[in-house]
Structure 1
Amino acid sequence: MTDFSFDNLRRAPDVEAPNLFAFDATDRLLLDTAGAGITADRDGVVVIGDHYGALTLGAAALHGARSLRTHQDPLSGELALAANAQTAGLAAAFSHHPLDEALLTGAPTVLLQLPRSLAALDEIAWTIARYASPDVTVFAGGRVKHMTTAMNGILGRHFTTVSAGLARQKSRILTASVPVVTAASGFPVAEQHDVGLPAPLVLKAFGSTFGGAKLDAGTRYLLPALSAARAAGQAIDLGSGNGTIAAYLALTRPALKIVATDQSASAVASSRATADANGVGDRITVVRDDALSSMPDSSAELIVLNPPFHMEGTVHSGIALKLFADAGRVLQPGGELWTVWNSHLQYRTPLTSLVGPTRQAARNPKFTVTVSTRS
């Protein structure tokens, strides 16, 4: 008998705070709506987008699912699920997979927490339609305030039948079936951007990469300022996303070796694709990591960061502070952290506290670029 309760779920190693939760009403509604299908297909259930384990562990503990296959884009979600499973005695109930054929082959039932990004939903829906059982039923849930009719349209592109259930506790389920199989997914997408280099910078992105193949406005402001960054043999692009900063550094500093790190599996694949598209893949190592947890103390000369300031739709400084603290740990004495942030966030004080003396390198009405030097 397992000891499972939604109330026992934790977010760690992700940021934990009173207004951040490890499960929501959508998890419960998905499990209730798909309950009979989970029980009937208990050996073939796939879970995509589980935040911290509520769907995977709920399917196992409440509906008897076995050999669950789970895909979570953020590494912090994978680590939280593993920790929660250990606590609940369900560590053997599931296996982690990339978003690929092995995840979905023959799957009759898929539970999906709807992503906020339409591109992410498009890639996920294509993958399900391409590899799951022809009889698959997809239960896709989300918070009503984050759902749009465009999501129905995207599911309708990949499935013949799409229906919406009644809302409950501000959540709703879309049910899709009868896959429409197409040859190509369309990912990664690619865009070219003029950043003042001899040739356009090519950015590539898979569906769940934040911002897609766009050039983030804050990053655009940061790039030219990096010419004043200290000389270094190696640099880290922390939270690399689509790989813009890593590729730019490699193109502007031909002797530099770069580590591009992100906790998103999609971002890691995108950073690699961007590096290769710009001919600098031989000097960029891409790592999936929870902040810089795999990197030793006092080992880096230069770190560059454009930190996120949202967590699951909530404006929250926790993730930025976590990244600042880890950068401070990994920088060697005299090493620099270059950061761009929305000026109203006033990050200079925590940067000084967590990293070291911080000065302003550039500022406009929207963005501030700072340099923090490890003392």
Structure 2
Amino acid sequence: MPFDLGELRRHPDVEGHGLEASDAADRLILDEAAALADGPGPGELVVIDDAYGALALGSAAAGARGVRVHQDLITGERALAANAARAGFAGEVRSLPLGRDLLVGARLVLLRLPRSLDRLDEVAGWIAGHAASDVVLVAGGRVKHMSLAMNEVLGAWFERVDVSHARQKSRVLTARAPRDARLPPALGWPRGERHDDLGVTLVGHGGVFAGTGVDIGTRYLLEQLGDAVPDAATAVDLACGSGIVAARLAHTRPALRVTATDRSAAAAASARETAEVNGLADRIRVTRADGLELLPDASEPLIVLNPPFHSDAALHTGIAAHLFEDAARVLAPGGELWCVWNTHLRYRPLLERLVGGTRQVARNPKFTVTASRRPG
């Protein structure tokens, strides 16, 4: 069946000028995989971190059947499903969590290289631990986002790592011969770190924003939250990452119930384990969702957000705008969105327009904390 990667859509993820659903790295990965002497049989191909379906659907168009796929972002998972339906391959791809069921018996794995070495280490560990002993991993990305350290990470899990020639500013790493197919899966993941100054232990899977640390923007936000709607019975940690804001709020406000939500599977798993290790699982509910889609209108008195401002590698304000709009919908009348952002992004007019009256709570040379109140 003819298939054009250019027809792929990013929706429901942010779309716009300069935000493409596939690129030269996807095409190079597909070409390198096609050149292998021994291709996978039905059910033996796995695709990991395929942004919007280019690798899975490109493989299906080339004849692969029973393709298993894992995408960290729920928006990518939904984009793949929609793209597969339009291309006529809905029955050939199946999304699964990162784990044994995804990888058992896999003889070929296609991977978009993550920018995080921790994410690469965790994924490579799962592959080495559960794929077939003759598995071949074809992992590629844009040269500007690759480093020699990626070869070292893969070399810790595989006996042989080969590097392709660059093409259109993209490159592929091909790994073979897992060092020990019976190694524990994802050795060392997730990881935990105690932050005595906050009274919280953070748990993080590979690739989660800031890992088990607390980035300086979030730390600055946490310093201001004592005055954030102090009588609120419930709150939301939006784009929760490892769950630090949810855990800190629940730790300091014993009667508060918190919803922590993120579109990343790794983040949701990390936040869930952070809540458990701190004995807060009974008051923190964690969901993997696109923004606040699971919460009803006008339902929450307090939402806290450190918004991401990258879509993949591109700087784009569309993600923040989407989250601000969602917060405006979910805030109860008189409720507040507390937000930290890099001052140079100048989000205040956007917050005023999308949410409501916005006041500056704190500002330092790098970050601004604001509180935006929904009219009511």
Normalising TM by the smaller chain, what interval?
Answer: over 0.9
* 1:249 shift after superposition: 0.3
* 1:39 shift after superposition: 7.7
**Gap regions ≥5 residues in structure 2:** none
Corresponding position of 1:243: 243
Corresponding position of 2:304: 304
**CA–CA distance in 2 between the matches of 1:291 and 1:180?**
40
Q: Give the AA of the match of 2:154.
A: L
TM, length-normalised to structure 1: 0.96
Corresponding position of 1:160: 159
Q: Give the AA of the match of 1:69.
A: R
Q: Give the AA of the match of 1:67.
A: G
* 1:248 shift after superposition: 0.2
Aligned alpha-carbon RMSD (Å): 1.2
Runs of 4 or more consecutive aligned structure 1 residues displaced over 6 Å after TM superposition: none
Q: Give the AA of the match of 2:234.
A: Q
Is 1:183 the counterpart of 2:215? The answer is: no
**CA–CA distance in 1 between the matches of 2:137 and 2:39?**
14
Corresponding position of 1:145: 144
* 1:344 shift after superposition: 1.1
Please give the residue correspondences for 1:102-251 in structure 2 after superposition, counting only pairs within 5 Å: 102-181=101-180, 182-183=183-184, 185-195=187-197, 197=198, 200-230=199-229, 231-251=231-251
Preserved CA contact (<8 Å) 1:305 1:340: yes
Please give the residue correspondences for 1:65-84 in structure 2 after superposition, counting only pairs within 5 Å: 65-84=64-83
DSSP-derived class of the 1:282 partner? coil
DSSP-derived class of the 1:46 partner? strand
Preserved CA contact (<8 Å) 1:39 1:65: no
DSSP-derived class of the 2:91 partner? coil
Corresponding position of 2:353: 353
Moved more, 184-193 or 211-220: 184-193
Aligned residue pairs total: 370
* 1:251 shift after superposition: 0.3
TM, length-normalised to structure 2: 0.96
DSSP-derived class of the 1:40 partner? coil
**CA–CA distance in 1 between the matches of 2:346 and 2:35?**
50
Is 1:5 the counterpart of 2:7? The answer is: no
**CA–CA distance in 2 between the matches of 1:150 and 1:7?**
31
Corresponding position of 2:52: 52
Name the % identity. 56
**CA–CA distance in 1 between the matches of 2:264 and 2:37?**
28
Preserved CA contact (<8 Å) 1:27 1:55: yes
- CA-to-aligned-CA distance 1:176-222 (integer Å, 9 cap, x gap): 00002333610111112243x5xx32111001212211101111011
Corresponding position of 1:315: 315
Q: Give the AA of the match of 1:90.
A: F
**CA–CA distance in 2 between the matches of 1:140 and 1:337?**
40
Preserved CA contact (<8 Å) 1:37 1:109: no
* 1:125 shift after superposition: 0.3
**CA–CA distance in 2 between the matches of 1:38 and 1:67?**
20
* 1:93 shift after superposition: 0.8
- CA-to-aligned-CA distance 1:279-299 (integer Å, 9 cap, x gap): 111100000000111222111
Corresponding position of 1:85: 84
**Gap regions ≥5 residues in structure 1:** none
Corresponding position of 1:280: 280
**CA–CA distance in 2 between the matches of 1:91 and 1:42?**
18
**CA–CA distance in 1 between the matches of 2:41 and 2:57?**
13
